[in-house]
Structure 1
């Protein structure tokens, strides 16, 4: 009998109940096992899982109270792999319901112990057994690939809840040891991107091990040849420590990855600054460091800092990489347009303002007016993306206004109308023509003859090469305002565009007809097609004259 097994506990169970171990919920014990908690765990919430190396003290008795075994009497805790069939079936099922420090009494029927034969002379046939078990602790182990080729053992618990995923960048230490425990290579605090393959033959094991690790966690992975270095056929061990997880985020307004923030130190809590909040941000760039105080969203700093600060938490430290020079032009830091700019940011503090839901309707209207003015000033400065964000924030204030007074309801509707028109102008500047058209349609639903909305919708249609739509809106504007010079210019531009499109259609139709008819017939068909397509443009040209 194995000296590490308690007397009478080994030799029962095995592979025949592995499936049951995997299926049972932690507290879902069968009828043949009754549990009574004697001393609950003080603060622990985790429970061991299959494969973990658990350590317990126990006292085993029959139902008449006679003791047949005790680790306490030997002053030697028992260690075994949970769910591996090294102990009786009832133990594997019972211990996985326990928490560290818990003491519980388990009454285990014969079918989960020694069955019909028992284990003479201590345990009679068909005996129900009673065990008092204390779970002292366990070492977490994982079979990373399910083939026992890479077994991960947790050496130190991590903190928090976040774990890295494929593509995430981490700061880690990795030590590779041969089967005789000699160190082959050690890298201290190196940056690594999961799934990048930059660790060579060890990348697969490192990626899999890191997937479920938390900050500060240390693990050891015992690897067979298939998961280790080719030069070491006996396999070896890979030890990994996860120091930091770098959260990489696109903080550009356009979400075009021109402004990427890499978090290198987590901040406090969950809240980030919002529009119109006062913030204090330390910026390190080009060998200089300066702390800037500004109001978020007002344009007091460059767009790069405006975008980044809204995605930071107090105390967070991050590396900001800006690939669009005009976004990181900051006179207060002496930054002028150049190539790629890298800044190190730390959000020192922010002054919280009232959240949207805390505002009265009067305060919402006032804030909407103030932020609309900020957006308009930014637009005049050519800071279109930042202006657009301000208009969006104003619109968000008035998602629901049914409970407003009639006066405030009218003010809110007017602000929404103005912001939709201004948003359309921003979208046109950014060549986001579909978005511009949607904003104009919002206005035209209530004001079908709004000339600004009609004109900007016509501009959007022109940008989308939809000249017929453009001409229709321009006609309506000229009916309302015959002397509108901008409309006349756009009208002529749309006519030229329409004619160019007609020529393209004529050419394509002619080529198509040449393949199925004689040249004469094809030319005649093309002329007829051209006449049909060109009629609206000709009529429109007469009207503009």
Structure 2
């Protein structure tokens, strides 16, 4: 008896749920209603701009029947949210899932309004449509102004997309509005996204694509061919580009200025990378652009071993290795400008590029600071600071910065230290952090220099050296008010500080230059207004 009652209760609950699910719901606030007849097969709904494909039939409420796609046995296609259909359709279809069938009651305000659509739709008529969502094709506005519209023809694999520095392999065909094919490659072409290829639309689109994806691009002439590439082509013509992303190679901008680029040839293991102090095993060769090998180290049987940040290999090579994972193989391209200032390879001024072919066989990181006792931390910090001082004097500011950074890290958290060790560690940390700020100034990393000085001032508000270096950074970034505040604060602490007085003179020069430029701008504005 109890079991029969339970079954009856469950059946009643199921019926209630089904009635609730297929009850009429309101969409928006203008009277559009929807009743689902058949549920869809996914959770996704189309976006504005997508090309949807539906079957439909409709009639005027209490009136004549309207057109039906079933009569023509051909689905109806339109772009959602582009005013190609009445507003009620745009809003209603946007709520539908693939495979869903629903009945929509569309108020006249979202249909043909006071005018109607003679002879079938009288003025102020509500419309009833049964719509089945068959499918849709994603179309995206990549520029926000309709300049590049991307239609996905075939979905790609995975979730990853290329980055700005990556090298991509694509197949494509570009056509003018007349249908004339003006460029293409069935075999595929490789190019660096940042450098671009053919036209701006290619680079913008490929960064949104997944491996194996095929897309059709509708490109306005403003995003089309570059004058230096297209020659006699009609640059004022819109384009259609069929584009396939075959694959890409990850490229890392090691130095942040495109002077040292690393292209991964074989992906490494895990997530860890060697850092300063790591013992690494590598195999590499260095060659010039003409193929001349100028250095070769290590082999499968006996890899070359060295310690990171001990100046045992050239800086560009070392910085690239610090971005690699165990087992990774990469090609590193070093720009000639970088070689002139940093590396000591046997190259001359005519060499534009140096290539390093590297395999990171293995590495072991040095003992982490959190496993050291207090004495070990202080000793390690002093040793790193000493190394940094030598590098700074030699003009090797990036290497010196890394030493100071590591030195400060050893003793930054000294809560467990004795009072005497804490006092020693604090003084050491302040010195290393300020020295690192000096490196950042030399490297032109002014925001980082000011950040480091601010950290020092948070611990020691009257530190004149920190104020001095921070005001130097502010002057370089034209933050004149902040620079003036630091100078005045420092001169209050040390009125006879010669360095701060010199900075004050420079500040006044910059302020006069700024006032003069503002006056010129104002004068130009007035002349245009006159």
Quick check: 1:33 aligned with 2:32?
Answer: yes
Aligned equivalents of 2:66 and 2:444: distance in 1? 84
Quick check: 1:369 aligned with 2:387?
Answer: no
Would the aligned equivalents of 1:281 and 1:349 in 2 still touch at CA under 8 Å?
A: yes
Show the 5 A alignment for 1:132-143. 133-140=132-139, 142=141
Aligned equivalents of 2:215 and 2:425: distance in 1? 58
Show the 5 A alignment for 1:225-236. 227=224, 231=233
Quick check: 1:324 aligned with 2:336?
Answer: no
Counterpart pick for 2:241 among 238, 241, 249 = 238
Per-residue CA shift, 1:188-239, capped at 9, x if unaligned?
323255576x73xxx2544554565555543333567785665569865333
Counterpart pick for 1:109 among 94, 106, 119 = 106
Quick check: 1:54 aligned with 2:52?
Answer: yes
SS class of match (2:92): helix
Aligned equivalents of 1:31 and 1:425: distance in 2? 64
Would the aligned equivalents of 2:57 and 2:69 in 1 still touch at CA under 8 Å?
A: yes
Task: Call closer, same or farther: CA 1:306–1:151 in 2, change over 3 Å.
Answer: closer
Aligned equivalents of 2:123 and 2:439: distance in 1? 86
TM-score (norm 1): 0.54
Aligned equivalents of 1:123 and 1:268: distance in 2? 70
Show the 5 A alignment for 1:404-415. 404-406=417-419, 408-413=421-426, 415=428
Would the aligned equivalents of 2:249 and 2:264 in 1 still touch at CA under 8 Å?
A: yes
Aligned equivalents of 1:217 and 1:271: distance in 2? 31
Q: Displacement, 1:136?
A: 1.9
Q: In the alignment, which residue of structure 2 is the partner of 1:343? A: 356
Task: Call closer, same or farther: CA 1:372–1:181 in 2, change over 3 Å.
Answer: farther
Aligned equivalents of 1:136 and 1:307: distance in 2? 50
Task: Call closer, same or farther: CA 1:276–1:104 in 2, change over 3 Å.
Answer: farther
Aligned equivalents of 2:444 and 2:82: distance in 1? 64
Would the aligned equivalents of 1:164 and 1:245 in 2 still touch at CA under 8 Å?
A: no
Aligned equivalents of 1:33 and 1:364: distance in 2? 72
Per-residue CA shift, 1:474-504, capped at 9, x if unaligned?
x99xxxxxxxxxxxxxxxxxxxxx9xxxxxx
Q: In the alignment, which residue of structure 2 is the partner of 1:275? A: 276
SS class of match (1:237): strand
Q: In the alignment, which residue of structure 2 is the partner of 1:153? A: 151
Show the 5 A alignment for 1:435-450. none
Aligned equivalents of 2:208 and 2:362: distance in 1? 32
Show the 5 A alignment for 1:330-479. 336=346, 338=348, 339=351, 340-345=353-358, 359=370, 363=373, 366-367=376-377, 369-370=379-380, 372-374=382-384, 376-377=386-387, 385-402=398-415, 404-406=417-419, 408-413=421-426, 415-416=428-429, 419=432
Task: Call closer, same or farther: CA 1:107–1:222 in 2, change over 3 Å.
Answer: closer
SS class of match (2:48): coil
Task: Call closer, same or farther: CA 1:178–1:130 in 2, change over 3 Å.
Answer: closer
Task: Call closer, same or farther: CA 1:324–1:85 in 2, change over 3 Å.
Answer: closer
SS class of match (1:87): coil
Task: Call closer, same or farther: CA 1:395–1:318 in 2, change over 3 Å.
Answer: same
Per-residue CA shift, 1:354-379, capped at 9, x if unaligned?
877xx36x557635533542553576
Q: In the alignment, which residue of structure 1 is the partner of 2:215? A: 219
Q: In the alignment, which residue of structure 1 is the partner of 2:253? A: 249
Per-residue CA shift, 1:382-421, capped at 9, x if unaligned?
6664243122222134444456553552452254266469
Q: In the alignment, which residue of structure 2 is the partner of 1:504? A: none
Aligned equivalents of 2:95 and 2:112: distance in 1? 21
TM-score (norm 2): 0.55
Counterpart pick for 2:76 among 75, 78, 84 = 78
SS class of match (2:28): coil
Q: Displacement, 1:321?
A: 0.5
Counterpart pick for 1:304 among 296, 303, 316 = 316
Q: For structure 2, list consecutive stretches of 5 or more residues without a partner in the other structure.
A: 1-25, 288-292, 473-493, 503-530
For the aligned residue pairs, the C-alpha RMSD in angstroms reads 5.7
